Amino acid sequence: MRTIGALIFPGFEILDLFGPLEMFGMLPDEFNARIIAQGHDPVASTQGPRTAVDVTTNNMQCCDLLLVPGGAGTRTEVHNGELLGWIKSVSAQAEIVMSVCTGSALLAQASVLDGKRATTNKRAFDWVCSQAPEVAWVRRARWVHDGNVYTSSGVSAGIDMSLAVISQLLVQETAEQVASWAEYQWNDDPGNDPFAT
């Protein structure tokens, strides 16, 4: 059983978070997800609905997999030194670190992506790149895997990325079965990015 620490903050993107969690959640004997935030109160997403918090960053200092979503709130959180410090600390211990969309800006600001290849949402690509020019940003990619870090492109790409992580940690056939259960057509080629042009 691996624990997934799913970070949320004001203005996170709903599908960035719950798309991947839906995939991992179909394997309850393998993965246990915990929603993490800096405070105890429910956190509002970019779209409005609030999500309850399981545990605060003060009370959860490690996890097997870390998931960082994007969303409009990342433009504020890139200046949140306390949160960035937590991301850096937890990432150093995690087996796998994942970001969706502009969540890669938070990983970049926390120095998690230093010297690595990474990608992000195409609509915010230039802004994210400006956060960490030392990162080897890849514009044409559904997701990028470098070391123990996975970064994915915009919103729905996080689902493809999470299936790739399942394939790595378990087997390809399990990821394919999860996609089938979800009636989802998995794009399992990280370089097949129809939104890059």
3-state SS assignment for residue 55: strand
101 classed as catalytic? yes
CA-CA-CA-CA torsion for 24, 119, 64, 173, nearest 10 degrees? 40
Angle between helices 157-169 and 172-181 (to 10 degrees): 140
Q: What are the counts of helices (DSSP H) followed by strands (DSSP E) for the chain?
A: 7, 11
Q: Where are the beta strands (DSSP E) in 27-163?
A: 31-37, 43-44, 50-51, 55-56, 65-68, 96-100, 117-118, 136-137, 143-146, 149-152
Residue 34 CB coordination number (10 Å): 14
Catalytic residues: 101
